[in-house]
Amino acid sequence: MPRSQRNDNFIDKTFTIVADILLQIIPMASGEKKAFTYYRDGMSAQSEGEYAEALQNYYEAMRPEIDPYDRSYILYNIGLIHTSNGEHTKALEYYFQALERNPSLPQALNNTALICHYRGEQAIQQGDPEIAEAWFDQAAEYWKQAIALAPSNYIEAQNRLKITGRFGE
């Protein structure tokens, strides 16, 4: 049974009903409808922590989806799951693919920056301050791009960049 038919909480049920109505009234090709259905089911599974099921739905959504903008959000969500699973290299691959299709996706830039910052912290723990600084510099570049796209969304990143002197570079 598709996830959209077995949602148990009120918000998921409401979202599913609204999405189903939109699918019926908005003219779109059957491939687009299929992609949206898989994407919706992937989001639902992801919100419940069912990452394997979410990935399966996202991969299925990628097959019929041809719009680069819509594909960017699918790829971004795949990246989120890999980030949640600690698979940072895989996550970065998906964030970069999402950004290739949609360079105006600040959340992908922010998450890329977070991974770079995390790697910088790891380098410090391993006693390699030069590598750490390179990772921190890379994180700053991604944060600057995210902040330029959505200035009010990344206040903590702005503060971190100001404190470290990387904001104005």
pLDDT per residue as tens digits for the range 104-120: 999 999 999 999 999 99
Confidence of residue 87 (pLDDT cuts 50, 70, 90): very high
> 13-17, 38-42, 64-68: which range is least confident on average?
13-17
Residue 11 has pLDDT above 90, yes or no: no
Confidence of residue 36 (pLDDT cuts 50, 70, 90): confident
**What are the domain boundaries of the chain?**
10-69+80-86, 103-168
Asked if residue 53 lies in contact with residue 45, where contact means CB atoms within 8 angstroms, the answer is yes
Note the pLDDT tens digit of each residue in 44-64.
Answer: 899 999 999 999 999 999 999
Please give the average per-residue pLDDT across 118-128, as a whole number.
Answer: 97
Whether this prediction's pTM lies above 0.85 is answered by no
Q: What percent of the chain has pLDDT over 70?
A: 81
Residue 93 has pLDDT above 60, yes or no: yes
State how far the Cα of 66 lies from the Cα of 86, in Å rounded to an integer: 29
Asked if residue 105 lies in contact with residue 146, where contact means CB atoms within 8 angstroms, the answer is no
Mean predicted lDDT score pLDDT of the chain: 87
List, as own/partner pairs, every contact residues 101-105 make where C-beta atoms lie below 8 angstroms and the sequence separation is at least 24, other chains included: 101/68, 101/69, 101/71, 101/72, 101/75, 102/68, 102/69, 102/72, 102/73, 104/149, 105/72, 105/73, 105/76
Residue 85 has pLDDT above 50, yes or no: yes
Pull the structure tokens for residue 83.
């980030």
State how far the Cα of 101 lies from the Cα of 153, in Å rounded to an integer: 21
